[in-house]
């Protein structure tokens, strides 16, 4: 049975704690009958029926359940006295992931109803009166007052779920709730949400663009992606799964073909095999990392699935100079990065080359733009230009005193061509830089107080001298004072970004020069 909308697997996902199983079993049967009466359609509803299915609060996260949560149109959490436990499965791997995913998918978290009102795609059912701390947690997480449909039996000294058979009890509950009326409210609310969702037009089919011939080409899309193949590594973090899906969509829109297209295998040997197969068929790999080290292998606690994919990409690319590897480190800023994960990330940072790159971009479109720039098909490089100088040193006149001190030191060992750009003459000097850079063995774009000029300047010059096919590497060199310079970096093929103390700039320029010009 399929969901009503083609881009969802389920119409409703019900999240609950297994100690409320008895109430749920009766409720779901009655809800399905009520929906048929009210809506006239059978909806595709998922709830975990079997506590032995590996989906309990103390069990490991199951990829199949993660997928169902994120591919559901409506989430219905059953808020009991024990639901608001941030360490339990239902909260961490159902409630929170759906909330984050719904904020970014095409429907959005809130839907405008036919009558003009607005309602959330999270429809809470409250079956116990909550402690203040639980109510506050829910309201803080949802960003507003808890609007639930209540199934709470209230009487002196009683706090339990309302049941259908309670309608036969006398006297009635003190809050006046009647089970069949509340059930009808749920069905009517679902009907309103479903109608609002199904009336929202589907996005136009993507039209992938051809393989890009210039970096400035817009992110367009076409009937079927025909460009380079991207191995988009699986992530084992629930929070990152929706971001991986966004990356896959953005890559496809950019004309890139993404593999694999299936969920991460649970079997470790199958994971290894399919990772190797996917990388062998790809032109590049894209790895998404967050706060945690990720799921570890049963036979190797020191290794995780994301780390394996990264290292396997490096191994398979060793004999393929054209292969590119991009790592996007996108942690949640409100949480600490796991110590082992931080060590892994630091290792990756130290391994950056033109073939292996690291990104901390703010969003998926920027990551895909960075990836695309490494795969861009540029015109064949011009005939080799004779190198007339060792270093082409470019700076802004705002930094002339510091630049002179640096070039005085460099001039003792290298031949230099120094370009000092005056305010309002950037375009003229940009042309001069584009002519001078190919004639040098290394170009240095230096800044101290002129970061606002330097970053756009180096991006333009890099593209104009050939981008990834540039005949001369570029060192984008800034000083660590003022502190905000540490935020200025430009990662691209044939570009190295460095932030150094003033007294070490000359030494770093020499080190980079030797790296690119030492005899093989």
pLDDT for the residue numbered 205:
45
Section 122-146 average pLDDT: 89
Q: Please tell me the predicted confidence (pLDDT) of residue 82.
A: 92
Name the band, by pLDDT with cuts 50, 70 and 90, for residue 315. Answer: confident
pLDDT at 66: 63
- Residue-level pLDDT at 448: 94
**Calpha distance 121→196 (Å, rounded):** 10
pLDDT tens across 264-287, in order?
Answer: 888 899 899 899 888 888 889 999
Q: Per-residue pLDDT averaged across 393-421, rounded?
A: 93
pLDDT tens per residue across span 463-492: 778 777 788 999 999 999 988 888 888 877
Q: Where in the chain is the domain with CATH 3.40.50.2300?
A: 389-517
Query: Mean of the pLDDT values across residues 114-136?
Result: 90
Q: What is the pLDDT of residues 329-344, one digit of tens each?
A: 988 888 889 899 999 9
Tell me what pLDDT residue 267 has. Answer: 87
Q: Residue 23 — pLDDT band, cuts 50, 70, 90? A: very high
Dihedral sign (CA 287, 293, 297, 303): positive
Over residues 359-369, the mean pLDDT reads 82
Averaged confidence pLDDT in the chain: 83
pLDDT at 146: 84
Q: Say yes or no: domain 389-517 is CATH 2.40.240.10.
A: no
- Where do you find CATH 3.40.50.10140 in the chain? 10-198, 229-375
pLDDT of residue 520: 54
**Among 431, 433, 465, 440, which Cα is nearest to 388's?**
440
Per-residue confidence (pLDDT) for residue 334, from 0 to 100: 83
3-state class of 21 per DSSP?
A: helix
Beta strands 416-421 and 389-396, pairing class: parallel
Confidence (pLDDT) at 458 = 86
Does residue 75 carry a pLDDT above 90?
yes
Q: Which CATH superfamily is domain 10-198 in?
A: Toll/interleukin-1 receptor homology (TIR) domain (3.40.50.10140)
Q: What is the mean pLDDT of residues 142-169?
A: 87
Phi, psi (rounded to 5 degrees) for 74: -130, 140
| Length in residues, the chain | 520
Q: What kind of fold does domain 229-375 have according to CATH?
A: Rossmann fold (3.40.50)
Least trusted range by pLDDT, from 161-170, 182-191, 224-233, 254-263: 224-233
Q: What is the per-residue pLDDT for 243?
A: 83
Amino acid 441: pLDDT: 95
**Residue 345 pLDDT more than 70?**
yes
> Residue 199: its pLDDT value, please?
87
| First-to-last C-alpha distance (Å) of the chain | 63
Task: Say whether the peptide bond before residue 359 is cis (omega within 30 degrees of 0).
Answer: no
Inform me whether the pLDDT recorded for 256 exceeds 50.
yes
> Which has the minimum average pLDDT: 66-70, 293-297, 422-426, 436-440?
422-426
**What pLDDT shows up at residue 282?**
86
The DSSP bridge pattern shows strands 72-79 and 110-112 to be: unpaired
Structure-model confidence comparison of residues 473 and 461, the more confident one: 473
Return the percentage of the chain with pLDDT > 90, whole number. 36
pLDDT at 65: 54
**pTM of the model as a whole:** 0.42
pLDDT band (50, 70, 90) for residue 49:
low
Give the pLDDT score at 425: 59
d(CA 331, CA 172): 51
**β-strands 296-297, 300-304 pairing:** antiparallel
Which pairs with CB-CB distance under 8 Å and at least 24 residues apart come from 413-419? Answer: 413/510, 414/389, 414/390, 414/510, 414/513, 415/388, 415/389, 415/390, 415/391, 416/389, 416/390, 416/391, 416/392, 417/388, 417/389, 417/391, 417/392, 417/393, 418/393, 418/394, 419/392, 419/393, 419/394, 419/395
Q: What's the pLDDT band for 352 if we cut at 50, 70, 90?
A: confident
- Residue 171, pLDDT score: 61
Write out pLDDT tens, residues 284-304: 999 999 999 989 998 888 999
- Quote the CA–CA distance of 108 and 103 in Å, as a whole number: 5
What pLDDT does residue 144 have? 78
Lowest mean pLDDT among 15-24, 146-155, 202-211, 472-481: 202-211
Q: Is the pLDDT of residue 4 over 50?
A: yes
Which of 291, 299, 313 is closest to 267 using CA atoms? 299
Q: What's the rounded Cα separation, in Å, for the pair 106 and 197? A: 10
- Dump pLDDT digits (tens) for 211-245: 333 333 333 333 344 568 899 999 888 778 888 88
C-alpha distances out from residue 465 to 404, 429, 434, 458, 470, Å: 25, 14, 6, 10, 6
Instruction: In whole angstroms, give the CA distance from residue 327 to residue 56.
Output: 33
Reply yes or no on whether the pLDDT at 505 is more than 80: yes
């Amino acid at each position: 049975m399929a969901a009503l909308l083609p881009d969802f697997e389920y119409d409703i996902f019900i999240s609950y704690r297994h100690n409320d199983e008895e109430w749920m079993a009766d409720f779901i049967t009655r809800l399905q009958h009520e929906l048929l009466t009210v809506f006239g359609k059978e909806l595709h509803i998922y709830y975990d029926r079997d506590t032995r299915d590996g989906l309990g609060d103390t069990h490991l996260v199951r990829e199949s359940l993660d997928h169902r949560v994120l591919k559901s149109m409506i989430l219905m959490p059953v808020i009991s006295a024990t639901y608001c436990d941030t360490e339990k499965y239902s909260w961490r791997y159902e409630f929170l992931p759906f909330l984050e995913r719904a904020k970014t998918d095409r429907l959005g978290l809130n839907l405008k109803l036919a009558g003009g009102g607005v309602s959330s795609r999270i429809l809470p059912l409250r079956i116990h009166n909550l402690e203040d701390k639980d109510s506050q947690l829910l309201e803080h997480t949802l960003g507003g007052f808890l609007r639930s449909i209540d199934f709470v039996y209230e009487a002196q000294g009683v706090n339990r779920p309302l049941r259908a058979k309670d309608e036969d009890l006398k006297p009635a509950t003190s809050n006046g709730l009647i089970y069949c009326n509340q059930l009808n409210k749920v069905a009517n609310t679902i009907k309103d949400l479903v109608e609002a969702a199904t009336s929202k037009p589907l996005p136009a089919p993507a039209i992938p663009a051809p393989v890009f011939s210039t970096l400035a080409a817009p992110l367009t899309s076409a009937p079927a992606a025909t460009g380079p193949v991207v191995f988009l590594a699986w992530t084992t973090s629930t929070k990152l799964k929706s971001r991986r899906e966004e990356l896959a969509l953005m890559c496809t829109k950019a004309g890139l073909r993404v593999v694999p297209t299936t969920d991460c295998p649970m079997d470790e040997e199958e994971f290894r095999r399919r990772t190797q197969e996917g990388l062998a068929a790809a032109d590049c790999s894209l790895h998404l990392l967050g706060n945690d080290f990720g799921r570890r292998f049963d036979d190797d606690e020191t290794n995780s699935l994301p780390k394996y994919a990264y290292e396997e990409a490096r191994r398979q690319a060793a004999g393929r100079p054209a292969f590119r590897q991009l790592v996007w480190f996108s942690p949640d800023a409100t949480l600490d990065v796991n110590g082992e994960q931080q060590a892994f990330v630091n290792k990756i940072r130290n391994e950056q080359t033109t073939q292996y790159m690291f990104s901390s971009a703010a969003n998926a479109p920027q990551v895909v733009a960075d990836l695309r720039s490494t795969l861009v098909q540029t015109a064949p490089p011009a005939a080799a230009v004779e190198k007339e100088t060792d270093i082409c040193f470019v700076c802004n006149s705002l930094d002339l005193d510091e630049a002179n001190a640096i070039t005085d030191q460099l001039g003792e060992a290298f031949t230099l061509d120094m370009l000092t750009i005056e305010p309002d003459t950037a375009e003229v000097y940009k042309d001069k830089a584009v002519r001078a850079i190919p004639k040098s063995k290394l170009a240095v774009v230096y800044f101290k107080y002129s970061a606002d000029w330097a970053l756009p300047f180096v991006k333009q010059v890099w593209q104009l001298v050939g981008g990834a096919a540039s005949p001369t590497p570029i060192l984008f060199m800034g000083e660590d004072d003022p502190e905000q310079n540490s935020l200025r970096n430009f990662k691209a093929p044939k570009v190295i970004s460095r932030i150094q103390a003033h007294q070490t700039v000359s030494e770093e320029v020499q080190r980079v020069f030797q790296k690119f010009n030492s005899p093989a």
